[in-house]
Chains A and B, each alone.
Chain A
Amino acid sequence: MNSDRPANRSDVLRPKNVGAPIRRTEDPRLLTGSGEYTADRMPDRPLHLAFLRSGQPHAKITRIDTTAASEAAGVVAVLTAEEIVDDFKPVIPFSRMANYYATPILPLASGKVRYVGEAIAAIVATSRYLAEDALELIEVDYEPLKPIARAELAVAEDAPLLHEEAGTNVLIAREFKKGDVGKDMAAAAVRVGGRFEMTRKAPLAMEPRSYTAEYEKRRDALTLYTSSNIPGIIRDAISESLSLPGHRLRVVAPDVGGSFGSKGSLYPEELLICIAARRLRRSIKWTADRLEDISSSSQAFSEIVDAEMGFDANGTATTLQADVIGDVGAFSIYPWTCGLEPVQVVSFLPGPYKIQSYRGAVRGVATCKPPTGPYRGVGRPVSTFVCERLMDMGAKALGIDPLEIRRRNLVRAEEFPYRIASGIIWDKTGFIECLDAAAEAAGYVQLRKHQAHARESGRLFGIGIASYAELTGIGSRIAVAPGMPINTGSETAKITIDSTGAITAAFGVASHGQGLETTLGQIIADDLGARFEDIRVVQGDSDEVPMSTGTYASRSAVLGGGAAKHASAILQAKLRRVASHLLEASTEDLEVTDGKVAVLGTDRSVTFKQIAKAVYSDMKTLPVDAREELTATYTYDPINGTTAAATHIAAVEIDPATCFVKIHKFVVAEDCGRIINPMIVDGQVHGGVAQGIGAALFEELIYDDDGQLLSASLVDYVIPSAPEVPLMDVVHVESESAVAGGFRGMGEGGTIGAPAAIANAIADALSPFDIDVSILPMTPERIFRLIQNAKLKAKEKS
């Protein structure tokens, strides 16, 4: 199934497409309004769904009366948990992890509600307007229970329980240990620590979640169009839940307008729409409005980390310990579980550093909020924020430059593969190279001089560095989420040349903005020897490949790209064999390029179209056994996957009058292995950093002590807009990885490095006040408070 070999430049004879800044083939349709998103589907006379959502954070449902709603104009059906109980099996986000309780995924709240925004009932009507009118006619009686809004309080012995069956609000607990932390801390020359927090955040894709279930009467079959980035997983889960075999359940992710993780889990609404379509034998549409998307899509971060790092006198970080409380919300998610985000915080906390002893404990705690789930960077934005803050605090305490202390602690070229204290293995990656490249691009030495000068005139100017490493494109040996039973380690490519000579390449990966149609096409063009413009890439359709999980965890360039390379090679061998008949030449003397097979050193050639004719349409030219179908399928598994790394450097200035942060300079030096399309890589970095700026300075979902969401609109949930995102310098350190093609995943790095770099820059800017940054986002309000408190303290001292 798999044959991995170290990549080298000779892998592709003459790459013309890989490495070229080819314009995205997706863009003409997406930019001219010709894309097809889920909401654009127009099935025959569709019905529309609307959900009644809980306004209560935690309450028993004592009565639901749907009589009046059922009689309202345009209403076809009103569904409640009771009504649909026989239509599905609950989906269980199973995991082999110890100390984990899997809360089942139910389409509608049953018996009680656990967060504001949880769906209680669904109305199916002839229009969304009428459906929403009828929502107001449903009567629900609640018996309010004590809300559980703060994870730190929910772990108390006498705290009310969100899931009584679990017997605790701690849905997941885990500890990582290596060496003797106690001894090493005692021996440390310097210990630094604190309580760090990244608040709750919304992934906020531009397209809200959207589902269209198209019912096919003649064979009781469903096609679910979904704005998902895991259509294959959704197909398998709904197939199981609804007892509907795969050939009667097709799941398609058409054009998808972003996810950032929020469309990477199975949702109750996704289950419900299929249940309703099957029950009513009608096609049904639903698109979340912005309020629903913010208040019911999976959310990010919400972790509090008590951490301490010990250094020896030379600035070598020797030991690290952390206790993490993750506020995972009301439910575990499918398939990743509620452990995904908080457990990764502790497993990645030692970062790219050679810290010898480590203890990292994590608890994922249930609260009355929507579930947290995957969010671009998963766990690593928080782990990097904490680790990089500690690194800077250590540097300050020891009087070592922040750049130098990282140089002393990063894993060096000769030390790979390196197993860090939490057990993760980094393969050969340019850690130091990224650090040096970023420092050079930022003009670090000059920047420090500039800072000294600015400080003399009282300006609050700061420089922040963040280095990180992440696992990308991971294969079957490592589970994407701890203890998860589904295979996330492989992807399939199926490349076919049909009787017209057209090339169609089908994948299970599901681009939702990554430009995979372009990059996978580039790989195939080079490795098959085709013209880029002749290749159609099909993806995100469960009917195209037998099994797939989709696009997440920076995997698709590595796994999809690896599958594309192998399938291309198999198909090219077939082309050569046919061409050798047609050209009467040995296969070794043939060259495949630009959609033609030519005899080396001659002008004799046949086009793919001529080869296809000979194979499929011509009964004479080829012997029967030489008429091989021009198709190749390959399922690629990189087994371990590969590391990606970067260093971000930010230079910021704080206006003491407004407490606003201005980013003067932002540099990213990243190693994503061999670059397939530099324009797309740059775009990924720019977008990721923009989101990281959101996490660092702006974005925050604020829930009050009763579990009510206060920042539920884009007026109150503030995201960076174009003026808040600075120009960036992106430097590529292209060290090839060991997987097919030498690629590394790179879709998430921007959001991992930026918050930490900006946090460090702000702390550096505020160092005249002796202020430490321990919570993000650093809003003007928070900076104002920190400065006020520091001034007060200074006054008290004097």
Chain B
Amino acid sequence: MKPAKFDYIAPSTVDLAIEALVASNGEGKVLAGGQSLLPLLNFRMARPSILVDLNRIEGLSYIEDREDRIAIGALTRHRDLEHSPLVAARLPVMSAAMRHVAHLAIRNRGTIGGSLSHADPAAELPMLAMFYDASIAVRGPKGLRTIAAEDFFVDALTNCLEPDEIVVEVEFPVLDHDGWAFEEVARRFGDFALASIALSVRRTETKLEGARIAVMGVADTPLRLREAEQELVALPLDAQLPERFSEIVASKVSPNDDLHASGEYRTHLLKQLSKRALRTALEAGERTA
């Protein structure tokens, strides 16, 4: 379990990093926190010709308040997000989700740019990017471009980046909601999710005015369930709502069987979590409404 031979460079600027990636002719790989990449290297499932280590580049780790948006630098560690008062105040769903991200040692190293680029369908940050409609700023030889989260995740472990592009920043809109919830089930605390849902609602005393739903662990990418959002808002706000909502959510997914769970069990879990999440969000909303 030793990696195949590779070159290594630790440039001091993003431009130099992109230069190195261009020079590698698509054979290079970016190293951020290394928490997913290094096992892939050791299993020889990834065989880059060169590793471009971003960790010497200054100014890529920050959490910045931009009024209606929170900007997060690509090299920001999970641990910083987990403990940020700014994130807790302005992006509460993210704040609640961060403690589910793997284990302490991994959160100390892992970065948001790395997690999004790795695009694991059962990882929290890609799901949060979908949930919040994050915009992902990437830089490549042609300059800067911004990609909507919904366009970013293409398939399991596959993003839409060109081989010489690097994620530099992620912007999360601050949501206007009356209640929210994040629910996740994993075999052990910190494991990849078997199923998870992030949910927020806007409501009056008598009805829902808006909803936002993202799920993960039940498809090849995290999903934003826009149809389910509309169907939920159309329903009467009564005691049956959580049950009916869970049926709606379940009807929108068809997870495959795998080693850890059958599709049927994952769907069952998602249903249960949906119920729980909506109850939590409505209760919180009731207090503020």
Which A positions have Cβ atoms within 8 angstroms of B?
A: 128-129, 132-133, 289-292, 657-660, 698, 702, 710-711, 715-716, 718, 720-721, 723-724, 780-781, 784-785, 788
In contact, A702 and B1 (Cβ under 8 angstroms): no
Task: Report B184-214 residues with CB < 8 Å from chain A CB.
Answer: 185, 187-192, 194
In contact, B5 and A290 (Cβ under 8 angstroms): no
Which B positions have Cβ atoms within 8 angstroms of A?
A: 1-5, 42-43, 185, 187-192, 194, 259-262, 264-265, 268-269, 272, 276
Q: Quick one: closest A residue to B187, CB to CB?
A: A718
In contact, A132 and B2 (Cβ under 8 angstroms): yes
In contact, B187 and A698 (Cβ under 8 angstroms): yes
In contact, A702 and B187 (Cβ under 8 angstroms): no
Q: Which listed residue, A292, A658, A718, A720, touches B269 by the CB 8 Å rule?
A: A658
In contact, B185 and A658 (Cβ under 8 angstroms): yes
Taking A780-B194, A781-B262 as known contacts, 12 extra A-B pairs with beta carbons closer than 8 A to each other, sorted by chain A number, are: A129-B5, A133-B4, A291-B43, A657-B269, A658-B185, A711-B259, A716-B259, A723-B188, A724-B188, A781-B260, A781-B261, A788-B264
25 intermolecular pairs with C-beta atoms under 8 Å apart: A129-B2, A129-B3, A132-B2, A133-B4, A291-B1, A291-B43, A657-B269, A658-B272, A660-B185, A698-B187, A710-B259, A715-B192, A716-B259, A716-B260, A718-B188, A718-B191, A720-B188, A723-B189, A780-B261, A781-B261, A781-B265, A784-B262, A784-B264, A784-B268, A785-B265
Residues of A within 8 A of B194 (CB): 780
Q: How far is the CA of A660 from the CA of B3 in the complex (A)?
A: 37
Q: Quick one: closest B residue to A717, CB to CB?
A: B259
In contact, A290 and B1 (Cβ under 8 angstroms): yes
Residues of B within 8 A of A711 (CB): 259
**Nearest chain B CB to A508 CB, angstrom units:** 34
In contact, B259 and A702 (Cβ under 8 angstroms): yes
Q: Which listed residue, B2, B4, B187, B188, touches A128 by the CB 8 Å rule?
A: B2
Q: How far is the CA of A94 from the CA of B264 in the complex (A)?
A: 49
Residues of A within 8 A of B190 (CB): 721
Q: Which listed residue, B1, B5, B187, B276, touches A657 by the CB 8 Å rule?
A: B276
**Nearest chain A CB to B181 CB, angstrom units:** 14
In contact, A289 and B268 (Cβ under 8 angstroms): no
In contact, A721 and B276 (Cβ under 8 angstroms): no
Q: How far is the CA of A289 from the CA of B189 in the complex (A)?
A: 25
Q: How far is the CA of A128 from the CA of B43 in the complex (A)?
A: 14
Residues of B within 8 A of A660 (CB): 185
In contact, B265 and A780 (Cβ under 8 angstroms): yes
**Nearest chain A CB to B129 CB, angstrom units:** 23
**Nearest chain B CB to A567 CB, angstrom units:** 45
Residues of A within 8 A of B260 (CB): 716, 781
In contact, B5 and A133 (Cβ under 8 angstroms): yes
Q: How far is the CA of A660 from the CA of B188 in the complex (A)?
A: 10
Considering the complex of A and B, which 6 residue pairs feature the smallest CB-CB distances, nearest first?
A: A289-B1, A657-B272, A129-B2, A132-B2, A784-B265, A781-B265
Question: When A711-B259, A781-B262 are in contact, do A721 and B5 touch as well, CB less than 8 Å?
Answer: no
Residues of A within 8 A of B189 (CB): 721, 723
Q: How far is the CA of A780 from the CA of B190 in the complex (A)?
A: 17
Q: Quick one: closest A residue to B1, CB to CB?
A: A289
In contact, A721 and B188 (Cβ under 8 angstroms): yes
Residues of B within 8 A of A128 (CB): 2
Residues of B within 8 A of A788 (CB): 264
Residues of A within 8 A of B276 (CB): 657
Residues of B within 8 A of A659 (CB): 265
Residues of A within 8 A of B3 (CB): 129
Q: Quick one: closest B residue to A48, CB to CB?
A: B2
Residues of B within 8 A of A291 (CB): 1, 43
Residues of B within 8 A of A658 (CB): 185, 269, 272
**Nearest chain A CB to B1 CB, angstrom units:** 4
**Nearest chain B CB to A60 CB, angstrom units:** 27
Residues of B within 8 A of A781 (CB): 260-262, 265
Residues of A within 8 A of B272 (CB): 657-658
Q: How far is the CA of A760 from the CA of B7 in the complex (A)?
A: 56
Residues of A within 8 A of B192 (CB): 715
**Nearest chain A CB to B263 CB, angstrom units:** 11
Q: Quick one: closest A residue to B276, CB to CB?
A: A657
Q: How far is the CA of A289 from the CA of B1 in the complex (A)?
A: 6
Q: Quick one: closest A residue to B188, CB to CB?
A: A721
Q: How far is the CA of A784 from the CA of B269 in the complex (A)?
A: 10
Q: How far is the CA of A128 from the CA of B3 in the complex (A)?
A: 10
Q: Quick one: closest B residue to A720, CB to CB?
A: B188
Q: How far is the CA of A289 from the CA of B3 in the complex (A)?
A: 13
Residues of A within 8 A of B42 (CB): 289
Q: How far is the CA of A128 from the CA of B190 in the complex (A)?
A: 32
Residues of A within 8 A of B2 (CB): 128-129, 132
Residues of B within 8 A of A784 (CB): 262, 264-265, 268
Q: How far is the CA of A221 from the CA of B269 in the complex (A)?
A: 61
Residues of A within 8 A of B264 (CB): 784, 788
**Nearest chain A CB to B245 CB, angstrom units:** 15
Q: Quick one: closest B residue to A289, CB to CB?
A: B1
Q: How far is the CA of A202 from the CA of B106 in the complex (A)?
A: 25
Residues of A within 8 A of B43 (CB): 291
Q: Quick one: closest B residue to A128, CB to CB?
A: B2
Q: How far is the CA of A766 from the CA of B187 in the complex (A)?
A: 20
**Nearest chain B CB to A713 CB, angstrom units:** 8
Q: How far is the CA of A698 from the CA of B188 in the complex (A)?
A: 10
Q: How far is the CA of A132 from the CA of B5 in the complex (A)?
A: 10
Residues of B within 8 A of A724 (CB): 188
Residues of B within 8 A of A129 (CB): 2-3, 5
Q: Quick one: closest A residue to B272, CB to CB?
A: A657
Q: Quick one: closest A residue to B3, CB to CB?
A: A129
Q: How far is the CA of A290 from the CA of B264 in the complex (A)?
A: 32
Q: Quick one: closest B residue to A787, CB to CB?
A: B268
Residues of A within 8 A of B262 (CB): 781, 784-785
**Nearest chain B CB to A55 CB, angstrom units:** 13
**Nearest chain A CB to B216 CB, angstrom units:** 16
Q: How far is the CA of A157 from the CA of B48 in the complex (A)?
A: 50
Q: How far is the CA of A400 from the CA of B238 in the complex (A)?
A: 47
- Which of A658, A723, A724 has the most C-beta atoms of chain B within 10 angstroms of its own C-beta? A658
Residues of B within 8 A of A289 (CB): 1, 42
**Nearest chain B CB to A119 CB, angstrom units:** 15
Residues of A within 8 A of B185 (CB): 658, 660
**Nearest chain A CB to B43 CB, angstrom units:** 8
Q: How far is the CA of A686 from the CA of B4 in the complex (A)?
A: 41
Q: How far is the CA of A718 from the CA of B4 in the complex (A)?
A: 28
Q: Quick one: closest A residue to B194, CB to CB?
A: A780
Residues of A within 8 A of B269 (CB): 657-658
Q: How far is the CA of A290 from the CA of B191 in the complex (A)?
A: 19
Residues of A within 8 A of B191 (CB): 718
Q: How far is the CA of A193 from the CA of B259 in the complex (A)?
A: 30
**Nearest chain B CB to A401 CB, angstrom units:** 34
Q: Quick one: closest A residue to B43, CB to CB?
A: A291
- Which of B43, B188, B189, B194 has the most C-beta atoms of chain A within 10 angstroms of its own C-beta? B188
**Nearest chain A CB to B23 CB, angstrom units:** 24
**Nearest chain A CB to B75 CB, angstrom units:** 25
Residues of A within 8 A of B268 (CB): 784
Q: How far is the CA of A702 from the CA of B43 in the complex (A)?
A: 20
Q: How far is the CA of A702 from the CA of B259 in the complex (A)?
A: 8
Q: How far is the CA of A129 from the CA of B185 in the complex (A)?
A: 39
**Nearest chain B CB to A34 CB, angstrom units:** 22
**Nearest chain A CB to B71 CB, angstrom units:** 32
Q: How far is the CA of A660 from the CA of B109 in the complex (A)?
A: 30
Q: How far is the CA of A718 from the CA of B259 in the complex (A)?
A: 11
Q: How far is the CA of A158 from the CA of B214 in the complex (A)?
A: 53
Q: Quick one: closest B residue to A715, CB to CB?
A: B192
Residues of A within 8 A of B265 (CB): 659, 780-781, 784-785
Q: How far is the CA of A711 from the CA of B258 in the complex (A)?
A: 11
**Nearest chain B CB to A697 CB, angstrom units:** 9
Residues of B within 8 A of A723 (CB): 188-189
Q: How far is the CA of A83 from the CA of B199 in the complex (A)?
A: 64
Residues of A within 8 A of B187 (CB): 698, 718, 780
Q: Quick one: closest B residue to A697, CB to CB?
A: B187
- Which of B190, B261, B262, B265 has the most C-beta atoms of chain A within 10 angstroms of its own C-beta? B265
